[in-house]
Amino acid sequence: MFLRNYWYVAAFGHEIGRNLLARTILGDKIVLYRTEDGSPIALANRCCHRQAPLSMGRLIGDTVECGYHGLTFNSTGECIRVPGQKKIPPGAKVRKYPVAERWRWIWIWMGDPDLADEDLIPDHLYRYNDDPEWSCVEGYLHVKADHMLLVDNLMDLSHETFLHSKTIGTVHVAETPAQVAQDDEGVTITRWMLDRPPPPIYDKSGGFSERGETVDRWQIVRFEPPSNCCLDVGVATAGTGAPEGDRSKGLSMRSLNFLTPETVRSTHYFWTFPRDYKLDDEEISKLHAEGFHNTFTEDLVMLEAQQEIMDAHIGQPTVNINADKTTMPVRRMVNKLLNEQELTSI
Nearer CB in complex with a second copy: 123/175: 175
Angle between helices 282-312 and 147-155 in degrees, nearest 10: 120
CB half-sphere exposure, 23, CA atoms < 13 A: 26
Verify binding: residue 177, a second copy, rule CB under 8 A.
Answer: yes
Q: Per-residue x/- marks for a second copy, 286-315, CB under 8 A?
A: ---------------xx--xx-xxx-xx--
Give the residue among 192, 177, 155 at the shortest CA–CA distance from 326.
155
CB contact at 8 A, 250 and 240: yes
Strand partners, 139: 271
Q: Which of 12, 35, 49, 266 binds a second copy (CB under 8 A)?
A: 49
SS3 string, 75-109, reads CCCEEEEECCECCCCCCCECCEECEEEECCEEEEE
Verify binding: residue 320, a second copy, rule CB under 8 A.
Answer: yes
Q: Which of 14, 37, 85, 210 binds a second copy (CB under 8 A)?
A: 85
Dist. CA 211–CA 196, nearest whole Å: 14
Pick the stretch among 66-74, 97-105, 249-257, 278-286 that binds a second copy (CB under 8 A): 66-74
Measured CA to CA in angstroms, residue 306 lies from 118, 151, 167, 178, 294 at distances of 36, 14, 22, 24, 18
Q: How many CB atoms lie within 10 A of CB 110?
A: 25
Q: Which of 4, 69, 265, 278 binds a second copy (CB under 8 A)?
A: 69
Verify binding: residue 67, a second copy, rule CB under 8 A.
Answer: yes
Nearer CB in complex with a second copy: 2/208: 2
Measured CA to CA in angstroms, residue 123 lies from 77, 224, 291 at distances of 28, 12, 26
Verify binding: residue 89, a second copy, rule CB under 8 A.
Answer: yes
Verify binding: residue 61, a second copy, rule CB under 8 A.
Answer: no
Q: Which of 119, 212, 318, 345 binds a second copy (CB under 8 A)?
A: 318
Pick the stretch among 52-60, 135-143, 197-205, 337-345 that binds a second copy (CB under 8 A): 52-60
Dist. CA 235–CA 215, nearest whole Å: 6
Nearer CB in complex with a second copy: 312/343: 312
Name the site residues for a second copy (rule: CB under 8 A): 27, 29, 45-46, 48-53, 56-57, 65-71, 79, 82-85, 89, 91-92, 152, 156, 158-159, 161-163, 174-177, 301-302, 305-306, 308-310, 312-313, 316-323
